[in-house]
Structure 1
Amino acid sequence: MTDLSFIILSGWSFDEFCTCKTDYYLFFDSNYFDNTYTNMIPFEPKTFTLGEKLTDEQLWFFNKYGFLHFKHFISKDTVKQFLSEAHRIEKDWLEAGLTKMNGIPLKFGKNPDGASMIQRLCFLSQNSQILHEYLKDPRLKALTQLLGYDARIGENEKDGLVFNHYVNAENSKFTQMGWHTDSPRDLFLGQKILKMLNVGTHLDDCPKENGGLRVLPGTHNQSRFKLLFGKKQFIDHRPDPNEVGLDIEAGDLTVHDGDLWHRVEVCPFTGENSRRRVMYIPIVTGKYAPKDAGSKTPFYHRLAKVVQF
C-alpha cells in the first residue's frame, strides 16, 4: 500500500485550490494527520421511516449529524429483484469484456469459489428498466429537500447508480474502504466543491458487529480544511473512538452528506458470511453534467489504482 494521502495543488492559494483543475499536485507527509476527531457533538442513535416528505425531526437530525437511516425502505422481494438485476448486468458485462462504463473503471475481483466478479459497477440504471423506475420513487425525490431547490438525483452524473459488492475472501479486491469524504472529488473534475448526498440502498443484512458503514456524526459541519485533510483520504482504515456503526437490514436506506467522514469496516468473517451488497445513487447540485460512452476517466479513478482504495 502506498503511504499516500490526499492531493493538493502545489503553489496555489487555498481559494484557487478549491476552484481550479488538478494539473499539479503534491503529497502531504502522513505524519501530518491525526486519526482521532476531537470535540465531537453528543450523538443519540435513531432510525426513521421515509415518506414522500421529510419530517421536521428528520431535517433536524440530518442537519445536526449529517446522515439518516431509514428502516424497511424496500421489501425483501424487491431486494431479491434488485440483486437479480445487478447480477444479470454483471454477467453481461463479464461476457462482453467491459472494463469501463461511461469512462468509469469497473472494479474486478474473485468470488470465494474463485469465479470472476465485478465488485464495483456503475450506471446500473442505464442498463435496467427496473432500477431506472426505482429512481423515480417519490420518496427518493423527497431527499432533495436536504440540499435545496436545485438538487436532483444524479442518475446520469458522477458514477450514476453504483453497485458495491464487498466480500472478505482471498482474491477479493473489495473488502473495506478507508475514511473519506465524497464531495472533494469535484476538485478532480476542475470544479468547486458542491453540496451532494450519497443515498444507499442496502441489499444484505449487516449488523455493526459484521463491519460495514461507519460514520463520524456532525463532521459535515466542519471547516473546508477538515473536509479535505481531517484524515488521510481512503488510506486510513483505523477505527475512530467517536465513530458510529449502523445496524443494517436488507431493504434499509441510508443517506449521508457528501462532507461527512465515513468508512467501511472489513467483516470479521470470511466467504459467504461476509458478503455485503449496496447500491448508491448521488443527489447533486450545480450544473447538469451527464456522462456517456465518450466521457474521459476522472483523475481520482486513475489515482485509485495507485493507492488501491
Structure 2
Amino acid sequence: MEINLKTFTLTEKLTQEQKDFFNKYGFIHFKNFITKDVVEHFKKEAHRIEKEWLESGIDKMNGIPLKFGKDEKGNPMIQRLCFLSQHSDILHEYLQDPRLKALLELIPDNENRIGEDEKDGLVFNHYVNADNSKFSQMGWHTDSPRDLFLGQKILKMLNVGTHLDDCPMENGGLRVLPETHNLSKMKVLFLKKQFIDHKPDEKEVGLNIEAGDLTVHDGDLWHRVEVCPFTGEKSRRRVMYFPIVQGKYQPKNQQSKTPFYHKLGKLVVK
C-alpha cells in the first residue's frame, strides 16, 4: 500500500495531524521517544526480572503463561514476560510518563486508561532467530478476539510498543495492514487465520524502527511480526508493549485464572 510513512514526535499533547494519521491508518510511529541510555536501563531491568523468574521456577504471572525458549548457547530464557512493571519501580514510573497519557486521546472515552494490571500488563517480547528459539515471528492477528474468549463485548484498545533494539524494515519485525482497523467486526476476526497465517500481504507496510522508538496500533488492526532473515545476535529484537483499555476495570493478580485462549495450544498472544 502506498502511504506516506511519516514519523512523529510525541509530547504531552497530540497534534491534530497525529490524530488524523492514526485514525486513517490505525497505527502511528514516534521517533526517539526514549534515549539510548534509558533503553539500556530498560533492557537491564527486563533481564534482571527474567533471571529472577527463571531461578524461582515461575511459569505464570497473574494467570498468564510465560513463553520459554533457549539462547544461542542452549541456556533457558523467557521470551515473553508479562506484568513487568509490577516488579520494577523503574518500569512502573515509566508508565506514568505524561507523554504516554496523551495517547489516551486516540480512543476518546472518559474511562480510557493505561492497563498496567489489566490484560497482560507491560509485556516484554524477546524475538531471536536461532536454532533453540521458540519465538522468532508472529502470524497475522488482531488483538480483539481475547475479549470474545472472555465472554465480553469487543471494546477498543491500543497496543503501545517501546522498542529496545534497532529493527530496519529489511530485518523483519512489525508489519501492519493499514486501515484494517475500520473493517467490519467479522473481518477484524476472520480476514485471515489468526496467528496461523504468516504469508506476506501485498498491502502490508513494514516500519523502520530504531531503539528508543514508540509505536502505537489499534487493537483491531491486522498486524504480524516477520522473522528476521539473519540469525543470532543480529536478529535480536526486544520490545515492551502495554495496552490502553476502556470499559470496566478488570485487574489481575496471582489468584487470577488462566484465560481459556491460552489453553488452546501454543498460541502466541501479544
Give the alignment's TM-score, normalised by structure 1: 0.85
| 1:212 and 2:212 matched | no
Match of 2:192 in 1: 231
- Once residues 170 and 82 of structure 1 are traced to their aligned partners in structure 2, the CA distance between those partners, rounded to angstroms, is 26
The CA RMSD over aligned residues, in Å, is 1.0
Match of 2:18 in 1: 58
| 1:72 and 2:32 matched | yes
How far did residue 308 of structure 1 move?
A: 6.5
What is the percentage of aligned positions where both structures have the same residue? 77
How far did residue 271 of structure 1 move?
A: 0.7
Mapping for residues 1-309 of structure 1, pairs under 5 Å: 42-148=2-108, 149-305=110-266
Counterpart residue identity of residue 220, structure 2: D
Counterpart residue identity of residue 121, structure 1: L
- Once residues 90 and 186 of structure 2 are traced to their aligned partners in structure 1, the CA distance between those partners, rounded to angstroms, is 41
User: Matched residue of 2:148: which SS?
Assistant: helix
Give every structure 1 segment of 4 or more consecutive aligned residues whose post-TM-superposition deviation is greater than 6 Å. none
How far did residue 304 of structure 1 move?
A: 4.0
User: Matched residue of 1:263: which SS?
Assistant: strand
Deviations 1:140-171, CA, capped at 9 Å, x for gaps: 00000011122100000000000000000111
Counterpart residue identity of residue 252, structure 2: K
Counterpart residue identity of residue 239, structure 2: V
- Once residues 34 and 164 of structure 2 are traced to their aligned partners in structure 1, the CA distance between those partners, rounded to angstroms, is 9
How far did residue 66 of structure 1 move?
A: 0.2
- Once residues 43 and 234 of structure 1 are traced to their aligned partners in structure 2, the CA distance between those partners, rounded to angstroms, is 25
Deviations 1:8-39, CA, capped at 9 Å, x for gaps: xxxxxxxxxxxxxxxxxxxxxxxxxxxxxxxx
Counterpart residue identity of residue 49, structure 1: T
- Once residues 130 and 230 of structure 2 are traced to their aligned partners in structure 1, the CA distance between those partners, rounded to angstroms, is 9
- Once residues 70 and 47 of structure 1 are traced to their aligned partners in structure 2, the CA distance between those partners, rounded to angstroms, is 6
- Once residues 190 and 123 of structure 1 are traced to their aligned partners in structure 2, the CA distance between those partners, rounded to angstroms, is 22
User: Matched residue of 1:247: which SS?
Assistant: coil
User: Matched residue of 1:200: which SS?
Assistant: strand
Alpha carbons of structure 1 residues 78 and 308: separation in structure 2 relative to 1, 3 Å: closer
Which has the higher Rg, Structure 1 or Structure 2?
Answer: 1
Match of 1:28 in 2: none
How far did residue 111 of structure 1 move?
A: 0.5
Counterpart residue identity of residue 47, structure 2: H
- Once residues 62 and 125 of structure 2 are traced to their aligned partners in structure 1, the CA distance between those partners, rounded to angstroms, is 17
- Once residues 269 and 207 of structure 1 are traced to their aligned partners in structure 2, the CA distance between those partners, rounded to angstroms, is 12
- Once residues 268 and 195 of structure 2 are traced to their aligned partners in structure 1, the CA distance between those partners, rounded to angstroms, is 9
Counterpart residue identity of residue 66, structure 2: L
How far did residue 115 of structure 1 move?
A: 1.1
Whether the 8 Å contact between 2:138 and 2:268 is mirrored in structure 1 is no
- Once residues 160 and 136 of structure 2 are traced to their aligned partners in structure 1, the CA distance between those partners, rounded to angstroms, is 20
How far did residue 302 of structure 1 move?
A: 1.5
- Once residues 294 and 101 of structure 1 are traced to their aligned partners in structure 2, the CA distance between those partners, rounded to angstroms, is 10
